[in-house]
Structure 1
Amino acid sequence: MKTHVKALVVGGGAVGTSIAYHLGKAGWDTMLLERDELTSGSTWHAAGLLPYFNMSFATTHIHDYSIKFYKQLEAETGLNAGFSVCGNLRMARTQDRMDEYALYSSTAETVGVPHEWLTPTQIKDRWPLLRTDDLKGAIYHNTDGYINPADVTMAMAKGARQHGVTIERKWQVDGYEWTGSEWRVTVTKMVEKGGNLVPSDEQTVITAEHVVTATGNHAQRTAQLLGIKIPAIPVEHQFIVMEQDPALVEWRKTNPEHPVIRDADAQSYVREERGGWILGVYEKSAPARFEYGVPDSFRADLFQLDLERIEQQYMEMIHRIPSCEECGLKDDFNGPICYTPDGNPLVGPAPGLRNMWLAEGFSFGITAAGGTGYYLAQMMVEGEAEIDMASLDPKRYGSWMTTEFAARKNEECYDHVYILHHPDEERPAARPLRTSPAYDRQAARGAQFGWVNGWERPNYYAPEGFSDHDARSFRRGGWWQYAVEEAKAIREGVGLVDATAFTKHIVKGAGAAAFLEWFTTNKLPRVGRINLTYALTDAGTTRTEYTIVRLAEDEFYLVSAGAWTAYDADYLRKSIEDMEPQFGRIECQDVTTQWGVFAIAGPKSRDVLNAVIKDADPSTALSNKRFPWLSAKQIELGMCPVNAIRVAYTGELGWELHHPIEMQNYLFDLLEKAGEPHGMKLVGARAQNWLRQEKSYRAFGNELGRDATPLEADLPRFVDLEKDFRGKDAMQALGIRSKCVTLLIDGPDDADPWGREALYDGETKVGRLTSGGYSVAFGKSIGMGYVKRELAEVGTKLKVRMQRQLWDATVVEDSPYDPKNATIRMDG
């Protein structure tokens, strides 16, 4: 057995073998360890479906790669992966479901996933065993289907060996130790004893420069060994195999195999199996299992079947395929499948650790395995993947996450697989959890909350008795009118936004200034001033956006996106650790939960603050002379000390009011009372999102990410090319591959884009939207996105796909609302 490798992959399911294959193919000396036999985890009892359908841009890329990769494995390895390319038919009973498919179609179109639309009559003509009289239609993928999980895993394992990968079975990892340059991994030989797999006395240590964990159901044990949190916990999943259906057997004598049949409104999928059917369900009340680890006695085992739990889905299957009613039950499966709180896997660097990579939490592991191996290997070998993998980063859940939270959210995610996935969806489980002090006051005033990194954040405010759940839509939901009123309030009067969820760090010390000069793209501000800047990846793309406030010559206050606290903290701290020997002492503190933030904005915002500011001359304290745009000052509002920043994400006159979190309710009441004479409205995140698009303000996770540079985001004013900074050479080497633009859209009367739509120049796809919404300033839809460089000129006429139709869109100047920033600089 080898005792030193460049990369050690832990876990021999489909995901682990794919990662080992792709690392081996990239030329890395790689070993894979499996504690039992290959495929002995969830892989062995998976149904093997390969659905393209996914609302995530990154995950759709991953699924697309997998499906194409599996089709060429036999040519490379000589092993048949058992891929039945029978297609995938996803049916809809309601117009809402068809609208959902239309939104998915937008994402699929941007990735290049082939699909077609079918009417109920067309479905019946192709597959007469299906009942279609209650359907609205379907979306059909003819290039996917299902695969034998064991066969595809063994094919990838053989391919890995052909690329020089060593695969060792019956070895369990019992300890990880980072030496500062490599990992020392303690492994124990596992032996059979009384039908169980138990540790022997044989142990050894393997050293590896990099380690990847793909431990599936054993993720909680992995988390304990590494001293981190991994919100990947299995949930029970049931499917049944039925005896032969004579009608199906007869039909198949002259016809090809049925596609995988997905009746989303019945929470189930059906596929053929040796003349019969397999029924799989995503029912409510399926419990999480192994919250604190998998018992040693559990190997390739199953749980007891609970047929009562899936009775409704069984009856729905008979409704959809009447000929199956007389088929008997042949076999049944109830096994663990890992989930995460949002259903997307955890792929990328582990929090706080060096050269430790996670590939955990795969609810659709067979579908995602091939692509995960490909893109994770790119991250490890080349430093970054060709697509932005941030949405799958393990650090999207911070240290506040607990086992109980993960278990309850994962159960919710399981029973939400087939619900209508509205783009304005908010899921209720484990909420509220993280609340700012003003939460109860906001709720009493009609706040409808969204969920951001565990925080409750107002999305919009509505009258008493209003239901956010009933207001959701794939078009303009019932909340839309309230967001319009809030956006107008900021444009015409004054509004107050709770931005407490912002990520906040203090960076200080003798080496702080030199470090930040190297770490970010823009010039550092003078004391008392602020700037907007970016931290890059080593590949030259955008890693994080920061607002930096310089508090002193050697002290800085960094503000970044609220959804990415652990993500930003990890990169910042690791970078400081790397560079402190060169720059000198640097201290970094995460102060996110110490400071609340209210953003007040609008032409009357100065009037509201003037009424409560304590100053020798209150009438001039907030004037341009004493408090200019893009500056920061410590002020007093009533009895509350405030670090005020003159900046507004909405593009109006305004301030961010950073205040001690324990004084938030006092400040809320003070501002609310002072705002009454001026008609101040409470404003949520949805209106703010529309307003920032009118100013062409890029958002991290939308326009800004690890697949584009700040120059491609068309932000050269925030990049100082006269200084050296991390990723500069790589950024310049990439050039301008595409460019970010703002578009005004003449769309339908009842819908706006969501930021997932494809852009066309005539019949040619030329880009995609990354943000979308409604503009109160222009009275029409607005969006931001990326197009080919030559199409980024102001006035270019394009088309955007919304609800299966193409609508006119025009590229407009950056900051189409108030391009000269006259309102934001307003004096008084």
Structure 2
Amino acid sequence: MLSETDQGNIFCDYFVNCAGMWARELGLECTPQVNIPAYPAQHFYATTGPLSQGVKGLMPIVRDFDAHTYAREYNGGLMIGWFEEEAKPAFEEQRVPKDWKKHLKKDFNHFRPLWEKAVHRIPTLKHCKNPELTNSPDNFTPDGRWILGEAAEVKNYFVACGMNGNSLQGAGGIGKAVAEWIIEENPNKTCYHLIYKDFLRVHNSRPYLQQRTKEVVGRHYSILYPYQCEYKYARKLRCSPLYSVLETRGAVFGIKMAYERVLYFDSTYKKGDKKPEMPPGTFFKPKFFDFMKEEYLACREGVGIIDMSSFSKIELKVDWKLLDSSKNFVQMILMYLWVP
């Protein structure tokens, strides 16, 4: 593998992209390009300095999930940060600017309501009149999981980025896991749920990532109800030809690989009404249960048609001259796959 740098050409057997918020851009510089959908979000935290009613001794890290706030001791005072419900992408430029620190603004309108919630939870913050606000970008992925493992586009090209605000929790372990992965050529079993996924180009587009970043930050401190937490941003990017038809029938959509897929139909919907949306989540029987029951009974007792446009299509081409000796075996496979 050849890497061209400002220090000359570097030849290597393995390449590990752990470039943080520059990882996506570095992937785009490769030939072929490597999709690494990770984008920096503005991450705000404030420091109080020593407080008049000081923080004495060791203080545990405090997390207030309702206020999307965390706090810890810092130089005799507190450091308070947020994973707010609606965050801001760090940069609007095509690339992360070289002088990136000059492009980070201290948005006090965005900060004040966050600070007020922190004061409500930690009353001693009332004694801090001028907290020092810092805007420190952090890298986030479309689903809030690390991007870890070998890229699909280039063999021996490994990626370790997208810590989603959890860099200190995983950095040492990730380095060890990637090193073992390269040496043993097999991922550690504990890393299976984090393994590099095959992303589409749409996932790596800047507009998509900027939209998704607004939402994925706040998911760190949100209650995610099973199968009831669809994203609201970066939607309607991949749609079936039947999308508008299904929508007028009361379809409520979710997404899979950026593809809009019908989750269920609201049978009470009438043309001209506001388009139905998924109701608030619950750990009990979901509010859309009866709609799904209707669909199940309709398919079981009658006939159902399912739009499967979003499913993958596989085209198999066979060179019979090369596979003549195993022709019967290949024919059996093709029959099993329903390929004519």
Q: Under TM normalisation by the shorter chain, which class is it?
A: 0.7 to 0.9
2:227 maps to 1:409: no
Q: Give the structure 1 partner of residue 66 of structure 2.
A: 265
1:484 aligned to which of 273, 293, 296: 293
* Aligned counterpart in structure 2 of residue 474 of structure 1, from 277, 283, 306: 283
Match status 1:288 vs 2:81: no
Q: Are the aligned partners of 2:88 and 2:213 in contact in 1 as well (CA < 8 Å)?
A: no
Q: Distance in 2 between matches of 1:211 and 1:407?
A: 27
CA deviation profile, 1:690-737 (whole Å, cap 9, x unmatched) = xxxxxxxxxxxxxxxxxxxxxxxxxxxxxxxxxxxxxxxxxxxxxxxx
Report the residue type matching 1:452 in the other structure: K
Structure 2 residue matching 1:459: 3-state secondary structure: strand
What SS class does the counterpart of residue 221 from structure 2 fall into?
coil
Q: Aligned residue for 2:130? A: 329
State whether residues 234 and 290 of structure 1, in contact with CA within 8 Å, keep that contact through their aligned partners in structure 2. no
Distance 1:358 1:527 in 2: 35
Deviation at 1:291, TM superposition (A): 5.1
**What is the CA-CA distance between 1:427 and the residue it aligns to?**
0.7
- Displacement of 1:390 in angstroms is 5.7
Q: From the two aligned structures, give the one with the greater strand fraction.
A: 1
Task: Give 3-state SS (helix, strand or coil) of 1:496's partner.
Answer: coil
Structure 1 residue 330 displacement after superposition:
5.1
- Provide the C-alpha distance between the structure 2 equivalents of 1:418 and 1:445, rounded to a whole number of angstroms: 35
> What do residues 566-597 of structure 1 show as CA deviations (whole Å, max 9, x unaligned)?
xxxxxxxxxxxxxxxxxxxxxxxxxxxxxxxx
Distance in 2 (alpha carbons) for counterparts of 1:372 and 1:413: 21
2:51 and 2:83 mapped to 1: Cα distance?
23
Q: Check if 1:549 corresponds to 2:308.
A: no
Aligned mates of 1:340, 1:513 — CA distance in 2: 43
Aligned to 2:313, what secondary structure does the other structure show? strand
Q: How far apart, CA to CA, are the structure 2 residues paired with 1:219 and 1:430?
A: 21
Equivalence map 1:78-117=2 (5 Å): none
Match of 2:114 in 1: 313
Percentage of matched positions with identical amino acids: 26
1:732 is matched with: none
Which position in structure 2 is the counterpart of 1:446? 250
- Alpha-carbon distance in structure 2 between the residues aligned to 1:240 and 1:339: 20
Of 430, 437, 442, which residue of structure 1 is paired with 2:241? 437
Report the CA distance shift for 1:322/1:426 in structure 2 as closer, same or farther (over 3 A).
same
CA distance in 1 between counterparts of 2:187 and 2:126 reads 48
User: Is the CA contact (8 Å cut-off) linking 1:304 and 1:334 kept in structure 2?
Assistant: yes
Partner SS, residue 498 of structure 1:
coil
What amino acid does structure 1 have at the position aligned with 2:200? Answer: G
- Aligned partner of 2:23 in structure 1 is 219
Q: Which residue of 1 aligns with 2:143?
A: 342
**Any conservation in 2 of the 1:471–1:479 contact (CA below 8 Å)?**
no
- 1:96-175 correspondence runs (5 A): none
Please state how far the C-alpha of 1:357 moved relative to its aligned partner.
Answer: 1.0
Structure 2 alignment gaps of length 5 or more: none
CA positional deviation for 1:429: 0.6
SS at structure 2 position matched to 1:435: coil
Distance 1:276 1:476, change over 3 A: same
Q: Given the alignment of the two structures, is residue 187 of structure 1 paired with residue 2 of structure 2, yes or no?
A: no
CA contact (8 A) 1:526 1:550 kept: no
Judge conservation of contact 1:291–1:403 (CA < 8 Å) in 2: no
Residue 741 of structure 1: aligned partner: none
Q: Helix, strand or coil for the counterpart of 2:255?
A: strand
Pair 265,475 (structure 1): closer, same or farther in 2 beyond 3 Å: same
Alpha carbons of structure 1 residues 382 and 513: separation in structure 2 relative to 1, 3 Å: farther
Distance 1:449 1:493 in 2: 23
Amino acid at match of 1:448: V
Q: 2:40 aligns with which of 228, 234, 243?
A: 234
The amino acid that maps onto 1:241 is T
Aligned equivalents of 1:339 and 1:384: distance in 2? 26
The whole-number CA distance in structure 2 between the counterparts of 1:440 and 1:302 is 41
Aligned AA for 2:22? H
Give runs of ≥4 in structure 1 deviating > 4 Å.
388-391, 511-515
Q: 1:310 to 1:510 in 2, by over 3 A?
A: same
The 5 Å alignment of 1:319-718 reads 319-329=120-130, 331-363=132-164, 364-387=166-189, 389=191, 391-401=193-203, 402-423=205-226, 424-462=228-266, 463-464=268-269, 467-510=276-319, 526=332, 529-530=335-336, 548-551=337-340
Query: 1:384-428 CA deviation, whole Å, 9 max, x = no partner?
Result: 223275654444421233221112112221244333322221011
**Which digits, 9 at most, give the CA deviation of each residue in 1:650-673, with x for residues without a partner?**
xxxxxxxxxxxxxxxxxxxxxxxx
Structure possessing the higher radius of gyration over alpha carbons:
1
TM-score of the superposed pair, with normalisation by structure 1 = 0.37
Q: Residue 208 in 1 paired to residue 208 in 2? A: no
State the shift of 1:436 in Å.
Answer: 0.6
1:719-763: CA deviation from partner (whole Å, max 9, x where unpaired) = xxxxxxxxxxxxxxxxxxxxxxxxxxxxxxxxxxxxxxxxxxxxx
Structure 1 residue 455: deviation in Å?
0.6
CA distance in 2, matches of 1:485, 1:503: 28
Change in 2 beyond 3 A, CA 1:386/1:527: closer
Deviation at 1:280, TM superposition (A): 0.4
- What's the CA shift for 1:371? 2.7
Q: Distance in 1 between matches of 2:28 and 2:188?
A: 32
Judged with a 3 Å threshold, the aligned counterparts in structure 2 of structure 1 residues 514 and 394 are, in CA distance, closer, same or farther, namely farther
- Check conservation: 1:525, 1:549, Cα contact below 8 A: no
Aligned length: 326
Distance 1:278 1:248, change over 3 A: same
- Partner-residue secondary structure (3-state), 1:370: helix
Q: 2-side partners of 1:466 and 1:472: how far apart?
A: 18
Distance in 2 between the 1:397 and 1:480 partners? 32
Amino acid at match of 1:244: P
CA contact (8 A) 2:252 2:278 kept: no
SS at match of 1:323: helix
Amino acid at match of 2:128: C
Distance of 1:450 and 1:323 partners within structure 2: 43
Cα distance in structure 2, aligned partners of 1:524 and 1:377: 39
Aligned to 1:623: none
1:444-472, CA deviations, whole angstroms, 9 ceiling, x for partnerless residues? 11111110001101111113258534242
Alignment root-mean-square deviation, CA: 2.7
Separation (CA, whole Å) in 2 of partners of 1:360 and 1:501: 29
**In the alignment, is the contact (CA less than 8 A) between 2:251 and 2:276 conserved in 1?**
no
Q: Is contact 2:41-2:213 (8 Å) kept?
A: yes
Q: Which amino acid aligns with 1:442?
A: L
TM-score scaled to structure 2, two decimals? 0.86
Alpha-carbon distance, 1:308 to partner: 1.7
